[in-house]
Homo-oligomer: A and B are copies of this chain.
């Protein structure tokens, strides 16, 4: 089982590393971190670099594709080599997945038209503009496409995938191996559960970034 995880500058690291920690434990699996150009890719804060070991053209037929998100996603939505790699790899993949705003990249590649999908809760409008039907669920499965909600949701997505691919018992053992018995100190992990003032605070701070993404899409379409 070959697993390709896409890296790019200004990604959100946990989007990639959460599913990695689960999927890399599948039997007979090989994970390859891929990018347009191999080398260290810095996250959106600049303080963490993950290394992409392979160029896209060396990993053309992965069994599983993982596309993480993060602010750098907006550049990738206009990056034809990346979008073409996703389209072609998706033709033969067993599973094509995304975490957080990684679904916007799948959408830009044209993979989500008419499908239910999820993303970071701040990105539903952009997701809709790409032809998908935003769905506020943590993990959304449409055929072989699995999209996950924001950042930490990639762990739940990957365990769901492993259960389908390797059976419930193996997925349960994986969950135990990474001691995934979450006990967050609060119950504010989704906009439905968090106090309204906290939701609005994040929404207003993020508006600028999100509008930037939408403008890039409009400019592309002109």
Q: Which residues of A contact B (CB under 8 A)?
A: 12-14, 17-18, 20-21, 24, 30-33, 40, 45, 47-51, 53, 100, 120-121, 138-139, 149-153, 155-156, 159-160, 163, 168-169, 171-173, 175-186, 188-191, 193-195, 198-199, 201-202
Nearest 10 A-B pairs (CB), nearest first?
Answer: A150-B179, A181-B189, A182-B182, A49-B51, A14-B21, A151-B178, A172-B188, A17-B17, A181-B190, A180-B189
Contact B155 A182 (CB under 8 A): yes
Specify which of A53, A151, A163, A185 lies most central, judged by the most chain B CB atoms within 10 Å of its CB.
A185
Which B-chain residue is minimally distant from A51 (CB atoms)? Answer: B49
Given contacts A176-B188, A182-B184, contact A31 B14 (CB under 8 A): no
Contact A184 B198 (CB under 8 A): no
Which B-chain residue is minimally distant from A18 (CB atoms)? Answer: B14
Given contacts A45-B31, A48-B17, A186-B168, contact A180 B152 (CB under 8 A): yes
Q: Please name 18 pairs of A and B residues whose Cβ atoms are closer than 8 Å in the assembled complex, sorted by A.
A: A14-B18, A24-B48, A31-B45, A33-B47, A49-B50, A49-B51, A138-B181, A150-B178, A153-B181, A156-B184, A156-B185, A159-B185, A173-B198, A173-B201, A176-B198, A176-B199, A177-B202, A181-B190
